[in-house]
Amino acid sequence: MHHLRFGSQVNRYFHVSFTLPYHTLQYIMSSHSNKMYVLTYEEYCRLDEVLARMVQIHGRGNFPTLEVQPKEFIKLLTARLSQEDFAITDCRLNGSAASYVLNDDSDRDEEDESTYAYNDLDLIFHVRLQSSADFTLIKNSVLETLIQFLPSDVNKDRISSVTMKEAYVKKMVKVTTKQDVWSLISLTNEQGRNIELKFVDTMKRQFEFSVDSFQIVLDSLLNFPGVSADLKPSSTLYPSVEAESVYGNLEEARYHLKHKLIATRNPEEIRGGGLLKYCNLLSREYCAVSTKIGQMEKYMCSRFFIDFKDVQTQQQKLENYLKSHSLDTSEKKYKYLQILYDVVEKSTVCLMGHERRQTLRMILDLLNQVYQQPTNYPQITVFYSLPPYMQQNANSQSYSISTYSPSTTSNSTDYMMVGSWKPPTANVEPKTPPVRCY
C-alpha cells in the first residue's frame, strides 16, 4: 500500500491508502516543489516518539525539576496564545531533531535506549511580531504555560512569571533588525538537551549546513486527536506531515544526511561562521562535498572571530558547545578539540599573530584538561625555539620537561612555555628544537 495526499479540502489531516505504483505517487507528491516532502508512516512514528518523550527542565536552587512532554507543552502554549488573539501561522520541529526523524540511519545506540541522536529540541513558531508588546506577550505566555507543569503540591497561584524566568530559563534572545525579527527562549536542561522555543517573524539565515536544514510542520500531527477521540493512527491512515529543507532541494539535503556529507552556502552569514558545528561534523566522520572547503574554512574562522572577539568569550562559547552537543565523553572531546585546533591553525587569516596564538593556546589548554581525565590519548606537547640569549648560554643551563597547567584565576596573557628542551651533548653542534608555530 502507498500513501497519497490530495487537496487540503479533501484530506487535510490524513494519508489514505492507495494501490497506485510507487513512482507515480512519488511524482505526484513531489512535482509541485522539490523543497517539500511527506513523511512516511515510519518517519511519522519516529516524530511522534520525539514529541512524546519526556524532557526534564531543571530548576535553579530549590526549584523542582519539571517533566515536560513537548507535544503537550506546544498544545497548551498555542491555546494560551489563541486566548490572547495572537495568531500562529504554523509550528515546526527544526535542527538535529528534525534530521533525526528524517534519517533512517541516525546514529542511535541500540544497546542504550536513553541515547539520543539529537541535542536540543528546536521548535519554531511562525508569528507576526509588530511591537515590543508582542515579544512580552510571548514571553509571559511561555512562562505561564510552564507553571502548569509544576508539581501538584506547589501553590501555583503564588508563582509569578518573573520567578519562573529566574528558575527555569537558560537564555532569552530578542533580535530586531531589517532582515531578522525573532525571539528565542531556551529552557534549562543540565545535560544540554534544552527545549529551544523560537518565535520567528523574519529570519534571513535559517540553517548552518544542509544536514540541519530540515523543518517538519507539526500542525496536522498536533490536531490529529481532535478529529475523533477514538481515531488511532495506523499504517493506512495517519496524519499527513510535511517536511521542508530551507537549504533548498530536500532530496539533495537528505542525500547529504544519509551519506554524511558537508555542504553549505555563504558561511560568513552564519553567526560564528558555523565553525564549531563544522568541526563537530568532521569529528563524526562527515566529509566535505566541495573541493573549495579550504576557502570556506577561512570564511568560517573569520566570522567566528568577528562574533567572538576575545579569548574569554571564545572559551565560554566553546565550553558551552562541548556540553550541549553530545560531546560528553573524553574521547569525543579530545577528537573534536584536535580537529578544531587544526582548522583554526591552518585557516585563520584575520587575526594578528599574538591573538591567533592565544586562541590556539586556549584550545590546547582544553585538550590537556581532557588528558588529565582517564584516557588512552597522549598529552599534547609543543616545542618552541629558544630565544637568542638562551641559546648563547645553552651549554651552561639544564632544562627538563615542563608542563603547563592552565589557571582559571590568572588573567595573564604572557606567552608561556610548554614542552621540553634538551641541552646539546658534548662535541655536538647545538641544534634548535623542532618548532610548531601557532
Assess whether pLDDT exceeds 90 at residue 273: yes
What is the structure's pLDDT at 292?
82
**Higher model confidence: residue 107 or residue 437?**
107
What is the rounded CA–CA span in Å between residue 334 and residue 342? 12
SS3 311: helix
Q: What's the mean pLDDT when you consider all of the chain?
A: 78
Secondary structure (3-state) at 70: helix
Most confidently predicted of 15-24, 31-40, 180-189: 180-189
Q: Looking at residue 358, what is its pLDDT? A: 93
The confidence band for 294, taking pLDDT boundaries of 50, 70 and 90, is: confident
Reply yes or no on whether the pLDDT at 194 is more than 90: no
Q: Where are the alpha helices (DSSP H) in 348-382?
A: 353-372
pLDDT for position 376: 54
Query: Given pLDDT bands bounded at 50, 70 and 90, which one contains residue 223?
Result: confident
Element (H, E) at 201: strand 195-202
For residue 289, which amino acid is it?
Answer: V
- pLDDT of res. 10: 38
pLDDT in tens, 140-188: 999 999 999 999 888 888 888 899 999 999 999 999 998 999 999 999 9
What per-residue confidence (pLDDT) applies to 398?
A: 39
Burial of 57 (0-12, 13-18, 19+ CB in 10 A): buried
Query: Is 404 a residue whose pLDDT tops 50?
Result: no
Instruction: Retrieve residue 155's grid coordinates.
Output: 501553590
pLDDT at 113: 39
Helix 353-372, helix 311-324: angle, nearest 10: 40
The reported pLDDT for the residue numbered 370 is 80
What is the distance between the terminal CA atoms of the chain, rounded to a whole angstrom? 61
3-state helix, strand, coil in the chain (%, to 5): 40, 15, 40
3-class state of residue 309 by DSSP: coil
pTM over 0.85: no
DSSP class of residue 85? T
Burial class (CB in 10 A: 0-12, 13-18, 19+), 245: buried
